[in-house]
Structure 1
């Protein structure tokens, strides 16, 4: 079947046309649409007419595996951290840092802590300056407090971070996060880090 422009349908277009016309009924008094003939060049190059050795090998598209999902910290671990039974292996304080500086400091800190065998890290973001909010009510307060949870969910952090949760009042409350780290290279759980 020729189209208005004089072009013949390709084999793929003809297949699609046959599929569509199977699901319709013509109006009373009309004949069903004709099945289009495939283009002559499509017949010559269709897979059934092509020699087997001439077909190109199928490409297998390999995508990098999706990063593992974040999971909330277990209730028992949260309770033990609050009571001091389980310990915080590493700490970082991002107070006063600019966003860019804080992001790279956090990423480097978490990778180092994981390499040293740390299991739980405390990330102090601060709650934002009340004085700054009073001086300029339109200024943003607690930018790092809002951004750090977002950063912990990014693809480059996911190989390091299992999950996170707001810290208990004893460790900073809303201005801090407990971060559970994935197992890394074996090493000594390590103390304080403050870039």
Structure 2
């Protein structure tokens, strides 16, 4: 359904239509201005509904829905529990401290693929926690710590890696990752 012009719009259109001349097709007939009509009533806008449910003072809040895990468990629950509690010892480790992202990525790929071909299941990737640098250019703190989990989910490592989890405190805590490899 086409919208009708208001009286102000129709008056403006007729003024513009009288003042123009066609550039190419001089014998082109311009449409007659539309007669003003009574404007159609605009629908009344309803106020936006709040995403917060209504409540009364003193009422207990409903429990929040559980958030889905960021990395779904793809390995045996008992083994995962032992791994996150630090009960499993990593079979190999790589320390990426002091490396740039460009140096660390190929080293990580080489390490993971060699570890899987050697039949290892649990390896430790030490990234460090990172430290803030007083630079005028903002950079993420701990660039390796943020980038390594992404690299492990991308090819060619995604086919080799079964599970990634933050290491136990005795193996480096938040500055290291357990990488559980698939069987060859």
TM-score, scaled relative to structure 2: 0.55
Work out the CA distance in 1 between the residues paired with 2:179 and 2:72: 11
Q: CA deviation at 1:172?
A: 1.0
CA contact (8 A) 1:72 1:165 kept: no
Q: Deviations over 1:3-46 (max 9, x none)?
A: xxxxxxxxxxxxxxxxxxxxxxxxxxxxxxxxxxxxxxxxxxxx
Instruction: Give the superposition deviation at 1:100.
Output: 1.4
In structure 2, the CA distance between the partners of 1:165 and 1:84, relative to structure 1 (3 Å rule), is closer
Q: Measure the CA separation in 2 of the matches of 1:70 and 1:83.
A: 18
Instruction: Identify the match of residue 79 of structure 1 among 78, 81, 90.
Output: 81
Q: 1:125 is matched with which residue? A: 127
Task: Please give the alpha-carbon distance, in whole angstroms, between the structure 2 residues aligned to 1:160 and 1:145.
Answer: 20
- Greater fraction helix: 1
Query: Could you tell me whether the CA contact under 8 Å between 2:96 and 2:125 is conserved in 1?
Result: yes
Query: Which stretch has the larger CA shift, 148-157 or 69-78?
Result: 69-78
Unaligned stretches of 5+ in structure 1? 1-68, 185-195
**Structure 1's 70 and 81: CA in aligned 2 closer, same or farther, altered over 3 A?**
closer
Distance 1:103 1:83, change over 3 A: same
Unaligned runs of 5+ in 2: 1-70
TM-score normalised over the length of structure 1: 0.52
Aligned length: 113
Equivalence for 1:146: 146
Residue 84 of structure 1, CA deviation: 5.2
Residues 151-182 of structure 1, C-alpha deviations (whole Å, 9 max, x = no match)? 01102112211111111111111111100101
RMSD (CA atoms): 2.3
Q: Considering only CA atoms, is the larger Rg found in Structure 1 or Structure 2?
A: 2
Match of 1:90 among 89, 92, 95: 92
Shift of 1:79: 3.5
